[in-house]
Structure 1
Amino acid sequence: MPYLLIRTNRQISEAEQSSLLAEASQIVATSLAKPEKYVMVGYEPTSALVFDSKPDPAVFLDLRSIGIPEPARKTIAGALAKCMVERLDVSADRVYLVMTDVPAKHWGQGETTFG
């Protein structure tokens, strides 16, 4: 049920995208102690992203999950930022991350919800 969306103005090849998605999926699964079979990760390249009035490479991460434990938040932030720095060649201070803890009754899969 965790979902991570990666938005960036950094263009990378399809092979690099696949590698980035696989690593990000593993980070989310491990950090949240969730089975990777429930983790979904998306990649949205964009040419229109400005941070600090500059079009330099930047990343916006949107992580949503049922249950994001407080102790895990800094670990997740650090691991995902490191991944973006290494995979997208972007400065860590140009990576934003929003984490949303979604109530189970508001998260569905197939024809039902988790709560």
Structure 2
Amino acid sequence: MPLISLYTNVKLDNAQEMLTARQLSTLASTQLGKPEQWAMVKVDAGQSMCFAGSDVPCAYLECKSIGLTDAQIPPLAAALSSLLQRQLHIDPARIYIEFASAKPQHWGWNGDTF
């Protein structure tokens, strides 16, 4: 926690995927004020996706974190969109982001929960 899952129709090679994952990890931990040792990122690039009936580059992100607050969401949405625009050339108007807050007892790690 936090967990960022990125799905995009932009094709990336392995190095680009890892760079994007690392950048998202750093961004999430910085924006949420959590140590990066707890951040996990999943990148699924080159997916068959369309947005508004078009296959122009688009993305869907899921952002989950223990204790995510409503106040944290707008700046996090802006930062995530900006990163994808800079790195993957995706128009922010073609990015959906779903945010979810988790209770510590609903998040498992190392055979236990937080």
Aligned to 2:52, the other structure's residue is in SS state coil
**Runs of 4+ that moved beyond 6 A:** none
Structure 2 unmatched ranges of 5 or more: none
Rounded to whole Å, the distance in 2 between the matches of 1:4 and 1:13 is 19
Rounded to whole Å, the distance in 1 between the matches of 2:74 and 2:47 is 29
Q: What TM-score results when the alignment is normalised by the length of structure 1?
A: 0.95
For 1:100, the equivalent position in structure 2 comes to: 100
Q: Contact 1:50–1:58 (CA<8 Å) still a contact in 2? A: yes
**41-50 vs 103-112, greater mean Cα deviation:** 41-50
Q: What TM-score results when the alignment is normalised by the length of structure 2?
A: 0.95
Aligned residue pairs total 114
Q: Indicate the percent of aligned positions where both proteins have the same amino acid.
A: 26
For 1:38, the equivalent position in structure 2 comes to: 38
Counterpart AA for 1:3: L
Residues 17-39 of structure 1, C-alpha deviations (whole Å, 9 max, x = no match)? 11111111011001111000000
Counterpart AA for 1:99: F
Q: CA RMSD in A?
A: 0.9
The reply on whether 1:22 has 2:32 as its aligned counterpart is no
For 2:64, the equivalent position in structure 1 comes to: 64
Counterpart AA for 1:95: I
Q: Contact 1:59–1:96 (CA<8 Å) still a contact in 2? A: yes
For 1:84, the equivalent position in structure 2 comes to: 84
Rounded to whole Å, the distance in 1 between the matches of 2:97 and 2:70 is 15
TM superposition shift of 1:46: 3.9
Structure 1 unmatched ranges of 5 or more: none
